[in-house]
A and B are shown apart, each in its own frame.
Chain A
């Protein structure tokens, strides 16, 4: 077999292995987008509740819809049709548009109205109340609304159905026109609750797609009506999409630049393709390793992992730049291997700290990065040299490189510079504006301002609940929660009257406790006495004698009904609504009330004290920020251990304190400088900055290691410079572009890595290179 055939065979085998790996990854792994699986275990009770409820609280699963543009008649019609379509769709647990809920007229549920209504709590349904009600009905029948009320009267002369409909409509409901909600801007409004959690972008994406296709199916091409969607779930989807779109767009540009750079550096298309193989192998192995160990991978792990794996692109570049005449690629790589191995080993050992963190997301990140780096490194060492073409251009001959080398060599290297820089960095960190950390992850992927304004407008128009606050009512069982909810209800009404909040939705508004239902049942008139009472009450009124038979039957039935429990209620048309407000947790139950328009969260402290903590306000934003802070603490611990491990590895590899210092000092100083510049510019740091700093440090380690290496001749020194320059420029190409992004999270990563690459390169040249001082 010729050398060429052997090369080709090996290449094909490699590619085939990659295809198999890719197939395994695609079939064997599920990418999760639920933010919760990337979060650490909760520490406090509130955090625990948040972990369970994040995105599942009633407020965050709400989508607000507005149908605007066109005649009001048509908009109202569309609103009704959309409601019917969505009610049949399993993505949604609740759809309301202000329409009188005809389901409530279902015969099966109607008798329960006397157990659910609070109308007769103050004064029981006696002759006086009934006489007054019947007189009002006579008057109603003479009014323009007569035809609307007529169908209800025989069964429901006190109009309890309407009273309940009012009780169940949002506390501050919008204007009803033509039977459905309308905004002041003449849009038909709907409220939709998704079954999916609010911060699960994939599931929300499905729900929103279902919404849009439902709307498309009911509109005709002639319709000018437009559907507007707003709400936390929609924003999650939107922000994810725009972040992905922008990073893909920037990614394409930087890929083109990267290809041009490699072509310019190595003048070979074949080399370009081959150089991509180690990192592709590493990435696929990383994903496969996670598939094997976890079966599921978080989207954030994938994004962070690929970022960190960027270090591995250095390996083939080093090999390509260091090839020289009279030496096979294998021989070249052997000469570099000890340094590469030091870099790979120290990085892998450092990432072990992440594995030990105990947080699933971080463990996945460690598995991905370690296996990726190992495979990329070893395939560069053992496979890549065997498939590279024999013909190559010596990088040392690159025009102009010699002059750059001379210039760098001639740079002054004052010994006071590093301490001065350190002092400067310390000063900048000292003076940097607060806060140091960005705990609000949402701030990194902000929602466009006009959408937020629209959100505020629709939320106000619909009286939709606040996403930030949740009222927690604790009880030992569901009945206990409902009783507590009833007890606290008048207190909350007081708070509303005081202007502390605009409104609240409590579980007991939908379902009173069994105790209350039984009390109401007992107060209902005796079926034996009711006919006589009705006759007396309607004396002098024109009603037909047998007209109210259905009413008599319903009251009689209501007296014998078994009180509604949440389980029974779940089967009713409003079941899903209550279901979202009552959750069992461990040995007790929680009621989740939503708050509308919170003005003074402090005022709730009183309520919490009175109820011995059974009723309390959960600040979702506060709890999630404290969760992020706790998470970051764990990551920082992992980083701390990682740094110690890295330093130890470098010392052990060199067995020379002086040399190890020359590698570690520029890396450390550069990292501190990046931090100082970011902080001085007023950027609060987030997890994304930390990951980006780690990547930059990994790259910096390479620069320092290679510059520190003693080189046999000037040509080899130029090859080192060539490799480093290609690495630096390619990293800058990718990350400087990201730094220009309009999305803060991409900008955070881009800016941090770009600054890092710049500082690491400059400091490596100045500090790691054996300057004249040492060689003299």
Chain B
């Protein structure tokens, strides 16, 4: 299953003071292939309203990711062997070699390391910070690469115990993309849909609405 975690003694959180972000990350490791439906909400200064897309995420092991958009348009993004392939509808697929865009490469490597629970690889690309309370933890990853940092402020993961709920990408200009996964993806979105409400939902989880 997507976020099937072994509950290790170190990461079964006892109290906020003892929160160990690295332990949480290494606990995120899961069997491949792992798939989950997602709902992504994009908040942008360019948009008059949030943009919602739905589809499926796929993790196939180190450096291999897939993202399929089903709604409101069709698009499949595959990341494998250092190459991103974007296929939109019936158009010709576009390929980008990650080596050509190191900042994107660092971002995706970090993201992949996060899904793979690989602390060492993750720390290579990001500063790790985190906080927790009784039924929620939040990890924040700030890019080490200066060029990436100019674009991406942080990646944040919200979750509870052994399961992640939301992945957020907070861009440097304030735009944000919040992706709800696993059980959280199946929950109805808060109405009216604002960034603050959605962030609260990520903190409180489906059960606590």
Which residues of A line the B interface, CB within 8 A?
A: 72-73, 135-136, 138-139, 141-145, 147-148, 150, 153-154, 175-179, 542-545, 547
Contact = CB atoms under 8 A, between A and B. Distances in A.
A547 B48 CA distance: 9
B88 interface: yes
Given A144-B108, A153-B46, 9 more contacts: A135-B73, A141-B44, A141-B51, A143-B75, A143-B77, A145-B101, A177-B102, A543-B47, A545-B48
Interface string B58-83: 00000000000100010101000000
Nearest to B150: A147
4 tightest CB-CB pairs across the interface, nearest first?
A147-B151, A542-B47, A177-B100, A544-B48
A135 B73 CA distance: 9
B88 A139 contact: yes
Nearest to B91: A136
Interface string B150-193: 01100000000000000000011101010000000000000000
Contact of A542 (B50, B97, B152): B50
Contact of A178 (B88, B101, B108, B177): B101
A542 B44 CA distance: 9
B46 A547 contact: yes
A143 B48 contact: no
18 contacts: A73-B102, A135-B73, A136-B88, A141-B42, A142-B42, A142-B69, A143-B77, A145-B96, A145-B101, A145-B104, A147-B172, A150-B173, A177-B97, A177-B101, A178-B100, A178-B102, A542-B47, A545-B48
A529 B149 CA distance: 41
Contacts of B175: 150
B199 to A, nearest CB: 19
Given A176-B100, A177-B100, A178-B100, A142 B53 contact: yes
Given A177-B102, A178-B101, A543 B46 contact: yes
Interface size class of B (residues with CB under 8 A): 20 to 34
Contacts of A179: 100-101
A143 B86 CA distance: 9
Given A147-B152, A177-B100, A139 B46 contact: no
B93 to A, nearest CB: 13
A545 B84 CA distance: 32
B158 to A, nearest CB: 20
Contacts of A545: 48
B200 interface: no
B206 interface: no
Contact of B40 (A139, A142, A145, A547): A142
A150 B84 contact: no
Contacts, number: 71
Nearest to B104: A144
Contacts of B42: 141-142
A154 B104 CA distance: 23
B100 A175 contact: yes
A147 B44 CA distance: 11
A135 B75 CA distance: 12
B144 interface: no
A177 B98 CA distance: 8
B49 interface: yes
B2 interface: no
Contacts of B194: none
A138 B100 contact: no
A388 B104 CA distance: 85
Contacts of A145: 96, 101, 104
A525 B75 CA distance: 31
A73 B146 CA distance: 12
A547 B172 CA distance: 19
B100 A542 contact: no
Contacts of B151: 147-148
Contacts of B96: 145
A153 B46 CA distance: 9
A73 B102 CA distance: 9
Interface in B94-112: 96-97, 99-102, 104, 107-108
Nearest to B44: A141
B75 A139 contact: yes
B135 interface: no
Question: Which interface residue of A144, A543, A544 has the most chain B CB atoms within 10 A?
Answer: A144
A605 B173 CA distance: 57
Contacts of B77: 143-144
Given A177-B99, A178-B101, A544 B47 contact: yes
A96 B102 CA distance: 20
A144 B100 CA distance: 13
B73 A139 contact: yes
A142 B173 contact: no
Contacts of A147: 151-152, 171-172
A154 B46 contact: yes
Contacts of A543: 46-48
Given A147-B152, A154-B46, A177-B102, A542 B51 contact: yes
B143 to A, nearest CB: 11
Contacts of A142: 40, 42, 51, 53, 69, 75, 177
B85 to A, nearest CB: 11
Contacts of A143: 75, 77, 86
A141 B46 contact: yes
Contacts of A542: 44, 47-51
Contact of A544 (B45, B75, B107): B45
